[in-house]
A = this chain, B = another copy of it.
Amino acid sequence: MAGTTIRDVAREAGVSTATVSYVLNGSRRVGDETRERVLQTARRLGYRANFTARNLQASETRLLGYSWRPSPIDQFNPILDQFLQSIAEAAARHDYRILAFPSIDVHAELSAYEEMMLIGQVDGFILTNTNFDDERVLALVKNEFPFVSFGRANEDWDFLWIDVDGKAGTLAATRHLVALGHRRIAFLAWPGKSQTGFYRLQGYLDGLSEAGLSADPDWIQLAGNFYDESYAATQRLLALSLDRRPSAIIASSDLMALGVLNAGWDAGLEVGRELAVVGFDDAPIARYLRPGLTTVAQPIVEIGEQLVTMLIDEICDRPVQQRHRLLQPSLIVRASSAASFVSSR
């Protein structure tokens, strides 16, 4: 279709294709007069480099695969937007592009085929929502294919990852609530073997013991990363007898915090004063909720950029300085936990 090749330009300009290539890439000195002529001809003919051919010759694709787990239709993905933009721009700075791979969970026997399809199409992978025993990590490690992950998996697997120190995040959240006077603090934890979820729970537990508080077992409620489950879990918490009912709830994500807010509201509580709520993610919506949601923010843009440069270093066989990086989150205090509180013992 487009069809103007480097050969057309060469013929038209009366030089060899090599010369045209040298001019276009600036990879070698070319006489001023010839260079001008080539450039003019290229422009006149509307020449555009064929990336496929160039990549074949360089035996690289200049493509990075981005694999994420799509969220259910009615949930929101708090970071996709920022993250995608961040990795796309970081990649572009190094002349790489991002190829989208929503990971389908039907990993039956397709996976072998799929895997074969995926690899060879890109130079490396960026994984998000990485889990314990993540089969994607396993497959990539087995194939010795370059990749980086946002999120840790099994401790004994060695691969490049960046993660947010979730423990530090929920620890800060817990300290914040303790400082406000809260003594009965509950936590909505993810069930199953999620590393991320585990660390977030750990920070909460650490925060309690640091303050000399012991956690009532009922204060730790299991709920998947869904609005409904978190709403129901909150109802269970609020149904506890008055002396055990928590005055503050930390949720493992903003989506879940939303369930807490609404369950609190529906129970007739004034969130912020009668019930403190803290989320995790700082989703864009968090600041616009009423009351504004106190939450733990992750440096998404920075993570995206670091992941990309890390991956490109790996692809180019450059040594990667820190193969595992734990970035610090920051607590954003808003009205959902602003009012200071005195425990009604």
Contact = CB atoms under 8 A, between A and B. Distances in A.
Interface of A: 2, 46, 48-53, 55-56, 59, 61, 63, 66, 70-71, 73-77, 80-82, 84-85, 88-89, 97-102, 104, 116, 119-121, 143, 227, 258-259, 261-262, 265, 283-285, 287-290, 301
A82 to B, nearest CB: 6
Contact of A262 (B143, B284, B288): B288
25 contacts: A2-B119, A48-B116, A48-B120, A52-B52, A53-B56, A56-B56, A70-B85, A73-B82, A73-B301, A74-B284, A75-B284, A76-B76, A76-B285, A77-B81, A84-B84, A85-B102, A88-B101, A97-B121, A100-B100, A227-B288, A258-B285, A258-B288, A259-B288, A261-B290, A289-B289
B100 A88 contact: yes
A119 B288 CA distance: 39
Contacts of A2: 119-120
Contact of A81 (B50, B71, B101, B258): B71
A52 B48 contact: no
Specify the main secondary structure of chain A where it touches its partner: mixed
Nearest to A287: B74
Contacts of A66: 100
A70 B48 CA distance: 27
Nearest to A69: B85
A100 B81 contact: no
Q: Which of A66, A81, A89 gathers the greatest number of chain B CB atoms within 10 Å?
A: A81
A52 B55 contact: yes
Contacts of A75: 284
Q: Which of A99, A104, A121, A261 gathers the greatest number of chain B CB atoms within 10 Å?
A: A121
Given A97-B100, A227-B288, 16 more contacts: A2-B120, A51-B121, A70-B81, A74-B287, A75-B284, A76-B284, A84-B100, A84-B102, A88-B101, A88-B102, A89-B104, A98-B100, A258-B285, A258-B288, A259-B288, A262-B288
Contacts of A77: 81
A124 B133 CA distance: 37
A48 B119 contact: yes
A119 to B, nearest CB: 6
A176 B290 CA distance: 26
Contacts of A89: 102, 104
A183 B186 CA distance: 47
A285 B259 CA distance: 11
